[in-house]
Structure 1
């Protein structure tokens, strides 16, 4: 690598690097030739994470979430901050605020509607004033849900009703961080959160559907409302009449049994958590287009998407403020950038 190439690499800080997704983020940055800056409160754990990811010489900066000044200093002269924390509704704001204060672009792997709404409503104007871009909610369901919804709806002649679902295909469970995230907003997750209808966000029962036929299945699966961030982001840029997330009802049963005392007994996530992200866009006359994204590992793929988004923030002109993926990037170009990693996508008519 030449000196010119080295100088062109972005400076990226990672907060939450000791977690499962954080380790994948470090490894992907290393694969791209980028040596990240690891920020956190425990130097030993951060150094261990750097060694595991193959970047033992990475810079370590110590800053706790309850020390805004230290966080801002840690993010000074950084191009982009990637936050891979759990439970953003309780832990996410300090890193977000410090990134803005330091003049750094920001992205994260949050999956909570409540946190995303706060990012857009409260922190978006602050980021715009600071001249930086916020790109929250970059996960293996949120990002493709936003991009695919944008593309699918534009193939229909009338405002689309969009329903999306993430289907776990692999064996094993999620990470401790995912469990912490659900526990921090358990009532919201159990209630299904918001859906979007006729220009407004709504809580409460989902008017439709009660079942979906998933890829490879011959019969419909009963589904229930489930909070999904694209409910908030898709209406920002696409003419839609309805947006909702759903999951198979048996997943909600699993959430009902989730309690804090099981956190320490959770096994490490399987490295084979492959999945389908299914999105149906339907017009009032029943014309339906299905978008499908399939990936080999939910956590690895989330990290890949977050790193791709972070690096693009340093090379792609974006307006300051809080943006959804489709507002920041060209959807087909971003989705195609994922295919070398075994992440495939397609959009096809259903009827």
Structure 2
């Protein structure tokens, strides 16, 4: 860390909706970030709007490796805040590693997360930096909750993870771009984990009764990155991601024209509260449910990304590409979110 009290954090992609929340939390913490992007005027306007007029601006396009490395050099951590990481995310990640900076992103894409572990994990380890991908309102909580639940159940454990948004899918254009970039993958449900390997193909999940609901909801397989990370630190027999079947049908019907017509930000009337649910069944048949509940999926992803970046800046995590539970103390991290109205519980699963 360049300064024990004030880490140097570079942010790429600050002009997006979640990027605004990232900047707001950095400002709340008294941190002045390095803002990196391709357009100086837009960066300057973003910095001023965020109340960070003294933020350093560094210019680098997402496909200019040399400029990105120069922009990230001297930063303790890079936060990558983008839509569609499978299209444009790798250069930012590669440049952060080359610059010797730890790295966090808010990707929601299994395909990108798999590349992070398989292709960039060895590079990060060699460079002595830590990479934690998919640090969002759904994936980091799912991974940390699964870790905590696994400590309470006998092996092996079956996990079903699900994100339930009260908005019904009324999200931002950036979220839609993310789905569109991997549309076929999301449509097919992505990977699930079974018999020691990641598998594609259909599954037949049982209906899920979400917190606060009187009746179960029909669910469909969904491609959560946490499916890839949970087996890294638990004795998982299976890990399956599911969402409300109607929600999955709606988002996988996206077209480029529809995405272009969406607003940059969710409407002010949108209810962006959410629950991230982890249902686990141990070898003895006993079930536990972990739930993290938040107030705004976008705000909370930004808060979580900053919390992760500040923790990585301390330099205590081992080098390489890590699951959240490999990089952070699960209970301590989740408890740190309480001042923002983000709560979590682990209870016996009865009739879930």
TM-score (norm: length of structure 2) = 0.95
List per-residue Cα deviations over 1:197-226 (Å, max 9, x = no partner): 1100010011x4231111111221100100
User: In the aligned structure 2, how far is the partner of 1:85 from the partner of 1:277?
Assistant: 22
Tell me, yes or no, if the aligned pair for 1:172 and 1:270 is still in contact at 8 Å. no
Q: Alpha carbons of 1:179 and 1:170: their partners in 2 closer, same or farther (altered >3 Å)?
A: closer
Superposition misfits of 4+ residues, deviation over 4 angstroms: none
User: In the aligned structure 1, how far is the partner of 2:177 from the partner of 2:317?
Assistant: 32
Residue 120, structure 1, aligned to residue 117, structure 2:
yes
Paired position in structure 1 for 2:302:
303
Paired position in structure 2 for 1:339:
338
Paired position in structure 2 for 1:53:
50
Consecutive unaligned residues in structure 1, runs of 5 or more: none
Tell me, yes or no, if the aligned pair for 1:145 and 1:279 is still in contact at 8 Å. yes
User: In the aligned structure 1, how far is the partner of 2:325 from the partner of 2:257?
Assistant: 39
User: In the aligned structure 2, how far is the partner of 1:226 from the partner of 1:270?
Assistant: 25
**Alignment partner for residue 102 of structure 1, among 85, 99, 103?**
99
Paired position in structure 1 for 2:31:
34
Paired position in structure 1 for 2:237:
241
Q: Alpha carbons of 1:245 and 1:131: their partners in 2 closer, same or farther (altered >3 Å)?
A: same
User: In the aligned structure 1, how far is the partner of 2:141 from the partner of 2:32?
Assistant: 27
How far the C-alpha of 1:171 sits from its partner, in A, is 6.7
User: In the aligned structure 1, how far is the partner of 2:308 from the partner of 2:39?
Assistant: 27
Q: Alpha carbons of 1:240 and 1:172: their partners in 2 closer, same or farther (altered >3 Å)?
A: closer
Consecutive unaligned residues in structure 2, runs of 5 or more: none
Question: Counterpart of 2:160 in 1: which secondary structure?
Answer: strand
User: In the aligned structure 2, how far is the partner of 1:305 from the partner of 1:230?
Assistant: 15
List per-residue Cα deviations over 1:261-318 (Å, max 9, x = no partner): 1223213214641101111001244311000110000000000000000000112511
How does 1:120-159 map onto structure 2 within 5 Å? Answer: 120-159=117-156
Q: How many residues align?
A: 346
How far the C-alpha of 1:142 sits from its partner, in A, is 0.3
Question: Counterpart of 1:196 in 2: which secondary structure?
Answer: strand
